[in-house]
């Protein structure tokens, strides 16, 4: 029994299989020395496990249910807010303003942390009962599109950290402004704000004269960012649609 006990605790954090092989005969010999019958110990363990499972089931389903489908709104808002800040830095850099390295790193870190939290919350929702899951396909698309959006913003913004600040013409900035407006509008929808954000307030005019030539490849990337932002806005609108529909029915009554 002593040798098996040493093998159990020695392999506990090294080799799980060896630990299990040693712990079983160790416990059986220990029960034999204590005068406890094997059937009595197994019966007591079975009823204790059954009672604990029943208590846990009743507490989680009846008394204190916390379903992830009801808690996903906050991490979604955090992701939208982080991407709004991220794309604002992109707009500032394309408008000729110098890009601060610390601000860029903080914004990138915020995007990574909020995206990881949203992905973890989505995974927890998928592990819950099927009848408690809501809009799992739309939320999955939302998670993927936000990853695509942040990756494309990082590709463009990181390349401009070491470059001399250049101001691009208004046609090239227009897709970024539209993307920023769309994400801001989606953030307002998730905050249950019915008033539409003002385009002039969200997107102030850029008075810096253009000093950089037109870049067709960059314009194509920015148009893709605008398209992804538009898709995110459509998903948010579909997620909020049942809620707004219910409000309209109540007002009609």
Helix (H, G, I), strand (E, B) or coil at 94: helix
- pLDDT digit string, tens, across residues 96-122: 888 788 888 898 899 999 999 988 888
Q: What are the start-end ranges of the H helices in the chain?
A: 2-10, 16-34, 38-58, 73-94, 101-126, 136-159, 170-190, 199-202, 216-252
- pLDDT category at 248 given cuts 50, 70, 90 is very low
Q: What is the pTM of this model?
A: 0.64
- pLDDT category at 218 given cuts 50, 70, 90 is confident
Helix (H, G, I), strand (E, B) or coil at 129: coil
DSSP string, 53-85: HHHHHHIIIIIS---GGGT-HHHHHHHHHHHHH
Q: Which domains does the chain have, with CATH numbers?
A: 2-63 (no CATH), 68-252 (1.20.58)
Across all residues in the chain, what is the average pLDDT?
80
- pLDDT digit string, tens, across residues 26-70: 888 888 888 877 677 777 878 998 999 898 888 777 776 677 777
């Amino acid at each position: 029994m002593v040798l098996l006990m040493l093998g159990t605790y020695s392999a506990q954090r090294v080799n799980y299989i060896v630990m299990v092989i040693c712990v079983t005969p160790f416990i059986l010999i220990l029960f034999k020395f204590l005068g406890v019958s094997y059937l009595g110990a197994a019966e007591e363990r079975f009823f204790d496990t059954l009672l604990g499972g029943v208590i846990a089931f009743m507490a989680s389903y009846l008394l204190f249910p916390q379903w992830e489908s009801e808690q996903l709104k906050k991490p979604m808002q955090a992701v939208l807010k982080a991407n709004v800040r991220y794309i604002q830095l992109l707009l500032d850099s394309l408008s000729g303003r110098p890009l601060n390295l610390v601000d860029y790193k903080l914004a990138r870190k915020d995007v990574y942390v909020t995206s990881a939290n949203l992905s973890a919350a989505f995974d927890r929702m998928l592990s819950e009962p099927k009848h408690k899951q809501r809009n799992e396909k739309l939320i999955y698309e939302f998670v993927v599109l936000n990853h695509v959006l942040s990756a494309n913003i990082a590709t463009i913004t990181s390349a401009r950290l070491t470059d001399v600040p250049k101001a691009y013409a208004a046609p090239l900035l227009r897709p970024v402004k539209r993307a920023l407006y769309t994400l801001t509008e989606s953030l307002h929808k998730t905050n249950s704000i019915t008033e539409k954000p003002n385009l002039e307030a969200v997107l102030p005019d850029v008075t810096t004269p253009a000093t950089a030539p037109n870049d067709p490849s960059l314009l194509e990337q920015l148009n893709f960012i605008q398209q992804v932002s538009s898709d995110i806005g459509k998903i948010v609108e579909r997620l909020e649609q049942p809620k707004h529909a219910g409000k309209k029915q109540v007002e009609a009554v």
